[in-house]
Structure 1
Amino acid sequence: MANVTASMVKELRDKTGAGMMDCKTALTETSGDVEQAVDWLRKKGLSKAAKKADRVAADGLIGVALEGSTGALVEVNAETDFVARNETFQAMVRQIAALAIKADGSLEKLLATAYPGKGHSVDEHVKEAIATIGENMSVRRTASLSSPNGAVASYIHNRVADNVGRIGVLVALSSGGDKAKLAEIGRQVALHVAAASPQAATIEQLDKALIERERGVYLEQALASGKPKEIVEKMVEGRLRKEFFGQVVLTEQVFMGPGGDGKITVAQYLKGEEKAVGGPIKVEGFIRYALGEGIEKKTTDFAAEVAALSKSN
């Protein structure tokens, strides 16, 4: 019997996209011959994943899970919306989101986590799903949020099934008051985050370089007005707060949830809810995932391809 090494298993896995245990079995069955092992896997229908690995997976689902005062988000991509409507795929995304609670936001840790009832990792389970469903898939990213002294709330927008959809949000609020009420308020803020897409929770959490960049633009515009320096400085700070912070900072944005009426900020909304909670409320942070953001889909110009072929003939 051939001595099947870890490097041999890795080489076969890279070639075929099959699971580690399947690769090890294939090498054992073929006396360590990698090329024969590739054929063995193909005959068993276990190397389909590799054939689809170069196809762009920009669809799929965002999954969310909550456990106590911790929440997690995952983005699991597939090639088409058709797969996103598949109940098996939805269940897989929900399960991966639940496992992400213990992964502390580490994608590497999540992929290496044992998938319940399967005897293999999350990474290997996704590879098997590729072979079964017939589309390229990947766990693209994960993040988690905790609030030991408060509550984490979630919201799924464009929901397709329980805890899965196209936009997922987590919001962490801290308070010494009623945690159940705090979670309800957090959900309203999460709904706002889904719609408003802020860049930071508070002004203090906003990238300082970004603030200075905007300040520089406003300063140059204000100086062109010819007004005195002290007036210019007030103009710049006023525009920063109203035009910039009011657009990108969660607590400074006009609250879009129930009762806001476009007249109060998120910070004012939270202040108004402190009596109901029984203590001050602080925004610890938020995470917002929108499906496929940042992924460039390959586009094919069929007419151009035909024209190119005609010229080459």
Structure 2
Amino acid sequence: MAQITAALVKELRDRTGAGMGDCKKALEATDGNLDAAAEKLRMDGAAKADKKAGRTAAEGVLAFASTADAVAIVELNCETDFVAKGEDFRGLAKRAAEAAVQQRPASLEALVNIKAGAETLDEARRAMVGRIGENMTIRRFEVVTKAGGPLVTYMHPGDKIGVILAMDAGDEATGKDLAMHVAAMSPRYLDAASVPAEVLDSERRIIEAQVAEQAAGKPAQIVEKMVSGKLAKFVAEITLLGQPFVKNPDETVEKLLKSKNARVARFVRYAVGEGIEKQQTDFAAEVMAQAGIKAST
């Protein structure tokens, strides 16, 4: 059997990023063959990734990457904020964003299968899962291309909320103010025309049920006026143009844009973990279960 030297272990670690102990075991299992050991580590990492795939990954980071005419945003998730702060984890998010903006994949599946160096993004993710021991997911991405005006971004400190905003017309300072507004106020749509009919229908049914109790016995036209007023308020609350501007609540974003001769073409707002149902963990119960101790009743 070949002698497994510290230098050999270090070489494998530098090549794969795996832990020293895992590298030593892989070299012992492959009689010191570096290539075979690297392949074993890759396969072991993939197996670990498959085992952890069902665990909730609701923490993570966002990353931007840009070209002359577009910006990409990517969300990379993990299980704990501690891992999300790691340099390697953040590096993977950045590589994914760069691949997205450079190659403009049509789907998430296409993105994760892009080669970023010697391996695909998904292979890099699975290897990192194997090394770190947490489930990780490249969850989503968006590429926003430049319209007629500035293309601006805003990343909130901590890289948990990110906004890309493309303007049809206007200056960059206004665009940056609006990107910060989007981050703070979380509009769902650009304007009233962008709100899907099913969203309006659903909200109208809710409002009608509420008004029916409040306006019992009132004429139908009064009831309809109340419903329309509440629906208009709802639309204003969920649209960028309808919201009061965060830096000057006395004017709406629509009024601000008119005063600046500016127009917004599109915006994208991501917040890490939004829409993911986080598991509530009872750590004491988890430790007791692992130790085979039954909780007292």
Structure-2-length-normalised TM-score: 0.74
Alignment of 1:43-192 (within 5 A): 44=41, 46-52=43-49, 53-54=52-53, 55-101=55-101, 102-104=103-105, 106-115=107-116, 118-159=117-158, 165-175=159-169, 181=171, 183-192=172-181
Q: How many pairs does the alignment contain?
A: 256
**1:124–1:199 Cα change, 3 Å:** same
Deviation at 1:134, TM superposition (A): 4.2
Q: Does 1:241 align with 2:232?
A: yes
Q: In the alignment, which residue of structure 2 is the partner of 1:196?
A: 185
Q: Per the alignment, in what secondary structure is the counterpart of residue 252 of structure 1?
A: coil
Segments of structure 2 that go 5 or more residues without pairing to the other structure are 1-25, 31-35
Partner Cα separation in structure 2 for residue 304 and residue 91 of structure 1: 35
**1:99–1:184 Cα change, 3 Å:** farther
Q: Give the partner amino acid of 1:256.
A: V
Q: Per the alignment, in what secondary structure is the counterpart of residue 134 of structure 2?
A: coil
Deviation at 1:269, TM superposition (A): 1.3
Q: In the alignment, which residue of structure 2 is the partner of 1:5?
A: none
Deviation at 1:60, TM superposition (A): 1.6
Q: Per the alignment, in what secondary structure is the counterpart of residue 294 of structure 2?
A: helix
**1:188–1:104 Cα change, 3 Å:** farther
Q: Per the alignment, in what secondary structure is the counterpart of residue 293 of structure 1?
A: coil
Q: In the alignment, which residue of structure 2 is the partner of 1:289?
A: 270
Contact 2:147–2:166 (CA under 8 A) maintained in structure 1: no
**1:299–1:40 Cα change, 3 Å:** farther
Q: In the TM superposition, what whole-angstrom CA distance separates every residue of 1:159-198 from its partner, at most 9, and x where no partner exists?
A: 3xxxxx01111122212xx6xx2x3322211111111111
Q: Give the partner amino acid of 1:233.
A: E
Deviation at 1:113, TM superposition (A): 1.5
Partner Cα separation in structure 2 for residue 104 and residue 212 of structure 1: 34
Partner Cα separation in structure 2 for residue 50 and residue 299 of structure 1: 26
Q: Per the alignment, in what secondary structure is the counterpart of residue 198 of structure 2?
A: helix
Segments of structure 1 that go 5 or more residues without pairing to the other structure are 1-25, 31-38, 160-164, 275-280
Contact 1:157–1:168 (CA under 8 A) maintained in structure 2: yes
Q: In the TM superposition, what whole-angstrom CA distance separates every residue of 1:77-122 from its partner, at most 9, and x where no partner exists?
A: 122222222223223222211221132562122112120xx22221
Partner Cα separation in structure 2 for residue 201 and residue 105 of structure 1: 23
Structure-1-length-normalised TM-score: 0.71
Partner Cα separation in structure 1 for residue 111 and residue 39 of structure 2: 28
Q: In the alignment, which residue of structure 2 is the partner of 1:264?
A: 251
Deviation at 1:231, TM superposition (A): 2.9
Q: In the alignment, which residue of structure 1 is the partner of 2:21?
A: none
Q: In the TM superposition, what whole-angstrom CA distance separates every residue of 1:278-297 from its partner, at most 9, and x where no partner exists?
A: xxx33222211111122233
Q: In the TM superposition, what whole-angstrom CA distance separates every residue of 1:145-167 from its partner, at most 9, and x where no partner exists?
A: 223333322111133xxxxx011
Q: Per the alignment, in what secondary structure is the counterpart of residue 98 of structure 2?
A: helix
Q: Does 1:214 align with 2:198?
A: no
Q: In the alignment, which residue of structure 1 is the partner of 2:14?
A: none
Q: Give the partner amino acid of 1:285.
A: R
Q: Give the partner amino acid of 2:258.
A: K
